[in-house]
């Protein structure tokens, strides 16, 4: 890779990474600013209902959406042939993130408004699309860390759904006592997916290498 190619890769790699890191920083700030919210028993979306933490949560969500879009566009530039499915999933995740930012949730665990329903299903889109995109990119670029984080995100999603109040097994596993923590770990894992996916830009996979045909070269 020459200097010009390295500069091009950096253009697409680092903004996506910055978006993910800004999202994590904003989420941590919201937790500190709204100390009265119990992270074990409340959803992370509840921070958007408080004036002191709402700007940080909305800003962090938008930052992660922008990072996802940037990674998707970067993939279209550096690996257009084989990254189509992952790009679609990243864009779907970005749309879901923007919708969760635009439509605030209802007070957990009850959803009673149309905006709350949009928020809930948009979050479901995010939690599904991003780890799937991460898994595809992890296989494509032979990135074990990205594959592991993507699988971890799916495991956390399953645990969160099981622990969420209203689940058939929630009371059996005492889910209401810690389902908020599971969601926070899930959000962090999805941010890690976007971060690691952005760092894949410019990486080489065996599938991207054109094998030599053993033909003589002209000099």
Where do the DSSP E strands lie in the chain? none
Domain assignments of the chain as residue spans, ordered by start: 3-203
- How confident is residue 45, by pLDDT bands cut at 50, 70 and 90? confident
3-state secondary structure (DSSP) of residue 141: coil
Among the listed ranges 23-27, 98-102, 104-108, which one has the minimum average pLDDT value?
104-108
What would the two tokens of residue 19 be? Answer: 């978006």
Stated pTM of the model:
0.86
Q: What's residue 108's pLDDT?
A: 60
pLDDT in tens, 4-14: 555 556 676 78
pLDDT at residue 65 tops 50: yes
Cβ neighbours around 188 below 10 Å, total: 19
Cβ neighbours around 2 below 10 Å, total: 7
pLDDT in tens, 194-207: 999 999 886 554 44
The closest alpha carbon to 59, from 177, 151, 67, 108, belongs to 67
């Amino acid at each position: 890779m020459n200097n010009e190619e390295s500069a091009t890769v950096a253009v697409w790699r680092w903004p996506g990474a910055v978006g993910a890191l800004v999202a994590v920083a904003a989420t941590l700030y919201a937790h500190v600013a709204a100390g009265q919210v119990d992270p074990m028993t409340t959803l992370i979306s509840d921070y958007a209902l408080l004036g002191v933490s709402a700007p940080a949560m909305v800003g962090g969500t938008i930052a992660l959406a922008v990072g996802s879009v940037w990674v998707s566009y970067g993939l279209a530039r550096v690996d257009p042939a084989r990254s189509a499915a992952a790009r679609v999933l990243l864009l779907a995740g970005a749309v879901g993130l923007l919708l969760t930012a635009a439509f605030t949730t209802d007070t957990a665990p009850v959803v009673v408004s149309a905006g709350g329903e949009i928020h809930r299903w948009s979050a479901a889109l995010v939690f599904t699309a991003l780890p799937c995109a991460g898994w595809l990119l992890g296989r494509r670029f032979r990135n074990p860390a990205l594959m592991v984080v993507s699988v971890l995100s799916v495991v956390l999603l399953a645990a969160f759904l099981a622990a969420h109040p209203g689940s058939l097994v929630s009371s059996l596993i005492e889910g209401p006592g810690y389902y908020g923590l599971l969601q926070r770990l899930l959000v962090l894992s999805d941010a890690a997916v976007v971060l690691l996916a952005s760092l894949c830009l410019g990486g080489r996979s065996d599938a991207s290498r054109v094998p030599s045909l053993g033909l003589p070269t002209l000099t």
